[in-house]
Chains A and B, each alone.
Chain A
């Protein structure tokens, strides 16, 4: 039997695609694909390949696979799934066989998984579009913290770039220690360590609006219909830490 290797990439999306592209072209079936920072078993045999012409590879892959596939696998990539790279590999391999039909071929395990994970990421992104809470700082900058399961800060930033285009805002992912900074033109995602956040003093009005919001939240619930199960279903407790109106109920 042909020996299978674990292939390494640098943890970023495009290099991963470059790697998968190369594997597919050369008909290599990997044992696994992992970022080079991952922990390895003693017996894993790893290979780090250098992939050239990433831009050209990407353009060509978009041509071959189309935008929908690209979005699907990108969302999957943003998840924390242990085998996401391998799943993406198999997803694309299936695509080469079945074309766009794979979107209905959920009986294939890897297809099913990739679509499921991708949807999970998309849904978490959607949830946080609602659950994110900004506070206004002294200098009128809006600041929000979150700790999502998936790495959705980029997707979320795109949403707020459209929605709050005339504001300066910062979103911090405290789990991954990364921040997204928006300067009314573009947003930049950087490592939190490499960026010195000025003292985060709240503006004078901030406390008043928080109080108004809390009061509104407490008033709007109908006590004859109280249903904490239903509330938790829609707004899981893992998000409460950063949701102003419920964090004190934790």
Chain B
């Protein structure tokens, strides 16, 4: 099989993995070719708008498992390919020199056995790191069920090593991925967490969950994420809107992937990681799903309107972070600036604070942006939804001009 055909098959199979980040590493090996950038670098953007920073491929799409949602399940009649370690190294290095990529993302179907597959991955990474002295970023997927000694070797060669949980609940996994056990995935996470160092998986680990393939609620998913952040010190949980690639009576019959739901999950994920929100403040078993019209932070604020409006000049940093429309950068700028002078609305604008959402929830020097009689959840909610739709309409008009 020609290299071109292999690359096509094995990139096509890898594309559903959402992870593309190349940040947060101080570098495992000080190679002679390449380095890592702490902030990460996006090299291109695909037709779906997702960043391309790594050469994202599978080692092979042969697989002994038969997961219902997966293109490469055993029972599917698709063309199979297997890279040699030398081929992966060659493409990676040549793409890297030309600055197409920041490094390699290597995952794999399970060929013969987990250990056998792991050895293939190790061989490839050793070739890159030791023979070619490649110092760029490598994100490798560990194979669930592989032995610990192999986890140890593989992690020592990669900037990031991770394993995908795929489905948020045990029930979902049993239904759609009968050969997989979530225990095997969490074992990898535990191992990486316990052994992480400057020389072992310095950029930490991440995982991915498919959204919408089973009937879990948003609460199930988010709660699972919260647990994993707490228990395994994950850097990221990626959410991947389910895209039907197989016909199966166990799978939902949808045509359009639930992208808005995925978007809400990411927003909520950010609230947990950077905005000190507890998962129960965002969702709970009684209110298990997101409002698709309003983002989770604004929704929370509307439910807790008695805590607002916040006076920008006196409220605490944590309170600032909870104001819809105010992000980490804005909050820090406000904290620093208000020590020097009293902030007015116009100052916020100059500081780059976006007021579109924030203005409903704040006062500046005790002044509200409009008459305080409008400070009702009804008025605010309507305007928030309206502004989103207006922008959407405007955008659509702009688009139709071309």
Question: Is A166 at the interface (CB under 8 A from chain B)?
Answer: yes
A215 & B102 in contact (Cβ 8 Å cutoff)? no
Main DSSP-derived SS at the A contact region: helix
Establish whether residues A133 and B49, one from each chain, have CB atoms under 8 Å apart when the complex forms: no
Q: CB of B287 within 8 A of chain A?
A: no
Q: Which of A106, A211, A226 contacts B350 (CB 8 A)?
A: A106
Q: Are A225 and B37 in contact (CB under 8 A)?
A: no
Report Cα–Cα, A217/B15, bound state, in Å. Answer: 11
Shortest Cβ distance from residue B20 to the other chain A in the assembled complex, whole angstroms = 10
Interface stretch of the complex, out of B51-59, B75-83, B211-219, B278-286: B51-59
The answer, among B7, B16, B37, B45, for a CB contact under 8 Å with A231, is B45
CA–CA, A116 and B349, complex, Å: 13
Q: A112-B350, A130-B53, A166-B33 are in contact. Are A217 and B44 (CB under 8 A)?
A: yes
Say yes or no: A234-B42 contact (C-beta < 8 A), given A142-B97, A165-B32, A224-B257: yes
Option from B4, B48, B350 in Cβ contact (under 8 Å) with A222? B48
The docked-state distance in angstroms from the alpha carbon of A218 to that of B48 is 10
A69 sits at the interface (CB 8 A):
no
> Does A228 sit within 8 A of B, measured CB to CB?
yes
B4 touches which of A136, A167, A215 (Cβ 8 Å): A215
In the complex where A106-B351, A163-B35, A220-B15 touch, is A136 in contact with B97 (Cβ < 8 A)?
yes
A133 vs B96: C-alpha distance in the bound complex, in angstroms? Answer: 10
Residues of A within 8 A of B (CB): 101, 103-107, 109, 112, 116, 126, 129-136, 142, 144, 160, 162-167, 205, 209, 211-213, 215-231, 233-235, 243-246
| Chain A to chain B contacts (Cβ below 8 Å), 22 pairs | A101-B340, A104-B336, A106-B333, A106-B352, A129-B41, A130-B42, A130-B99, A131-B44, A209-B95, A212-B7, A217-B44, A218-B47, A220-B15, A220-B46, A222-B50, A223-B47, A224-B257, A229-B395, A230-B48, A234-B42, A245-B44, A246-B44
| Closest 9 A/B residue pairs (Cβ) | A230-B49, A221-B47, A221-B46, A104-B336, A227-B49, A225-B48, A130-B43, A235-B45, A106-B351
